[in-house]
Structure 1
Amino acid sequence: MENGSGEERHSVVTGGAGFLGSHLCDALIRAGQRVTCIDNFETGRSANLRHLRDEPRFTLVRRDLNDQIDGEVPGPVDVVFHLAAPAAPSDYLLDPVATMRIASVGTLNALDLARDRSARFVLASTSEVYGTAGDEPHREDDTGQVNPADGYGAYYESRRFAEALTTAYRSTYNLRTAIARIFNTYGPRMRLDDGRVLSRFIRQVLSGAPLTVPGPGTQTRSLCYVDDAVAGLRALSEGGYPGPVNIGSPDEISVFAIAQEVAEIAGPNAEIVFVEPPPAETHARRPDISLAGQLLDWQPRTTVQTGLATTLAWFQGAGARHA
């Protein structure tokens, strides 16, 4: 794939060794692009990129994004995808100061790289910026409400700051930027220790343990398969819309139904049991993706049944050794 000057397109993916980032690297390589991945492997995994080791169009730069990175990336750059940020509570609660540093200094360095190379900048933000989940799907014009002084404040506010910083670079330097708000995404290579209910179900199935459904299981989740999320990021990168734009699934499925799907795929020995719910049960955020459909011609295309089957097959096969 060539850029406007006839050269091979070059994308930089920060956090490219992570779950979503590694799938994005794969998709860009398949599209004929040259890809530079920047990751310090604090939360990313080398196993996620092992299959790209001998790919001539792929370059891995092991670097902390809090340090200057401009000299690590030679030549022109067409797009900088900024995905470097801890996404699992087990990571961002462990060191909230580091969480805020990567969102501030790390995002500044990624933005400066895009500015220096006149590249488009795509920020992978999160649905967490909307704050407390409600009954209605979140629209991009929802301002959200978060408490910066609670235990999760460092993560919420760090992502909101990264969005504000990206917007400031657009207005101050006329940088071509875009913001994607990523909702619950799953698939091969996902972290099984990220605290999410689907991750727990897969971990339990792999170990032969019963699937534990909290409470009645009527609480819902909205699950977007990773290939669809990647397609949304790429569509946003190829247009001129600055965002923010929601990337996720608008369809809800109950936790009990998820457990049933996983149990059916796993086989007849899979058992489902009901357990006491935690004191503060998580309510799912559901996106309104009308804007993504109108401006990006994007919507999720993978059914939950297909996505879960593919995900579980990966973990039961070769992927289980790297989970």
Structure 2
Amino acid sequence: MIDNPILQEDLEFIANKILNNGYFSNSTILITGATGLLGSLIVKSCLYANKIFNTNITVLATIRNREKADQVFQGFTSNPKLKLITNNLLEPITINESIDFIVHTASITASKEMVENPTSVLLTAFESTKNLLEYLKKHSNTKMVYVSSMEYYGQISDNYENVTEEQLGYIDLSKPRSSYPESKRVCEALCNAYTAQYNLEVCSARLAQTFGAGVPLSDSRVFAQFAKSAVNKTDIILHTSGQSEGNYCYTADAIYGLFLLLQKGQQGQSYNIAHNHSSILNMAKMVAEKIGHNQIKVKVQIPENINSLGYAPDVKLKLNSDKLKNLGWQPEVDLENMFKRMIKSWEF
């Protein structure tokens, strides 16, 4: 079922950390955005736990493209515990199965689309979340985790080196790119409004940038570009000054955190999921040194059309994840090994 030993190690880690305690056994879990990185790994984690622990979890995976789903879930599509659903999340949810848990990962995350199609970014986030919350109104025993983002915080001027969940920074709403962080804010607000008014079991996960085994070689995000530069022994080219600070989390650690929130997350609460921190420039230098063995260099080449590329503004932000750790979360993979495990997984 798994032909990638790195990914298999991660699925075993998740199963042993959170899925073998009986809490999720014999349940039905709906995963939105199931062909994305997070969604697909949640699906595979459940099915892998079924195999090794007989947890008997039924997975309902919402997809938009069946051909992509067949590729992402190769080796899993014949599993009777996986049901691929093509429901349009922008319309009322019509699912006959009784659902115990929902993880709402579906979101438009392409930076270019945030600039060129900001209305879709906002409306897709809002309408899909609203429709899921309307489902929860009718099925009050269902618990949902909304997957938010560290971009929720915007630009924080005070105490940015220890950002806890109650802090909030500035977002420039005149910029189309702000459609993404603002969509996260409005969806969290919507979740909390429904929770307060209808007593729903919903919490939010503010996720750091997540990567590791499971990221396809075709990925074009900055961390993947750095990794491929190290593999190909080509210099790392930065299109910004690299001063923006990022928060990162290994894929398996993040999935483990999301399952923990399904089990222990408090209604109406938000939780940071972050383990590693670095500026873009320092991360590039680390990759060049540790992964590229000092055989490559880091160069800064800022394009003239930088404002049209959808890059987030420079942000200084270091997330504090103590709130999630107080629930028992214990992440294990540091930034260097995030890169090493992702690159190793590309060999299979």
For normalisation by structure 2, the TM-score amounts to: 0.78
CA shift in 2, pair 1:66/1:206, >3 Å:
farther
**What is the one-letter code of the residue matched to 1:39?**
I
Structure 2 equivalent of residue 84 of structure 1:
106
Q: Cα distance, 1:184 vs. partner?
A: 1.5
Q: Cα distance, 1:193 vs. partner?
A: 7.7
Which string of whole-angstrom CA distances, capped at 9 and with x for unpartnered residues, describes residues 157-190 of structure 1?
2111111111111111111111111112112343
**For residues 293 and 192 of structure 2, what CA distance do their matches in structure 1 show?**
51
Q: Cα distance, 1:270 vs. partner?
A: 4.9
**For residues 22 and 298 of structure 2, what CA distance do their matches in structure 1 show?**
57
Match of 1:51 among 66, 75, 90: 75
CA shift in 2, pair 1:216/1:13, >3 Å:
closer
Q: Cα distance, 1:21 vs. partner?
A: 1.0
**For residues 18 and 195 of structure 1, what CA distance do their matches in structure 2 show?**
14
**For residues 77 and 52 of structure 1, what CA distance do their matches in structure 2 show?**
21
CA shift in 2, pair 1:166/1:186, >3 Å:
same
**What is the one-letter code of the residue matched to 1:126?**
S
Which string of whole-angstrom CA distances, capped at 9 and with x for unpartnered residues, describes residues 62-89 of structure 1?
232112222xx33211111111111231
**What is the one-letter code of the residue matched to 1:248?**
A
% same residue: 25
CA shift in 2, pair 1:270/1:56, >3 Å:
farther
Q: Cα distance, 1:208 vs. partner?
A: 5.1
Which string of whole-angstrom CA distances, capped at 9 and with x for unpartnered residues, describes residues 104-148 of structure 1?
111111112233333001100111111115542321010332122
Q: Do structure 1's residue 15 and structure 2's residue 33 form an aligned pair?
A: yes
**What is the one-letter code of the residue matched to 1:128?**
E
Which string of whole-angstrom CA distances, capped at 9 and with x for unpartnered residues, describes residues 1-42 of structure 1?
799999710000111110111111122223332110112249
Query: Unpaired runs of 5+ in structure 2?
Result: 1-18, 50-54, 307-311
**For residues 89 and 192 of structure 1, what CA distance do their matches in structure 2 show?**
19
The structure with higher relative contact order (CA 8 Å, sep 6+) is 2
Q: Cα distance, 1:212 vs. partner?
A: 2.3
Q: Do structure 1's residue 105 and structure 2's residue 133 form an aligned pair?
A: no
Q: Report the RMSD for the aligned CA atoms in angstroms.
A: 3.2
Q: Cα distance, 1:227 vs. partner?
A: 0.6
Structure 2 equivalent of residue 321 of structure 1:
none
Residues 166-315 of structure 1: matches in 2 within 5 Å?
166-190=191-215, 196-205=221-230, 209-213=234-238, 220-242=245-267, 243-249=269-275, 251-255=276-280, 258-259=283-284, 261-263=286-288, 270-276=295-301, 282-283=314-315, 285-294=317-326, 296-315=327-346
Query: Is the Cα–Cα contact under 8 Å of residues 17 and 46 in structure 1 kept in the other structure?
Result: no
Match of 2:150 among 108, 127, 132: 127
Q: Cα distance, 1:269 vs. partner?
A: 9.1
Q: Which moved more, 1:15-24 or 1:49-58?
A: 49-58
**For residues 5 and 290 of structure 1, what CA distance do their matches in structure 2 show?**
23
CA shift in 2, pair 1:164/1:255, >3 Å:
closer
**What is the one-letter code of the residue matched to 2:101?**
V
CA shift in 2, pair 1:284/1:232, >3 Å:
farther
Query: Is the Cα–Cα contact under 8 Å of residues 121 and 179 in structure 2 kept in the other structure?
Result: yes
**For residues 238 and 24 of structure 2, what CA distance do their matches in structure 1 show?**
54
CA shift in 2, pair 1:212/1:102, >3 Å:
same
Query: Is the Cα–Cα contact under 8 Å of residues 28 and 99 in structure 2 kept in the other structure?
Result: yes
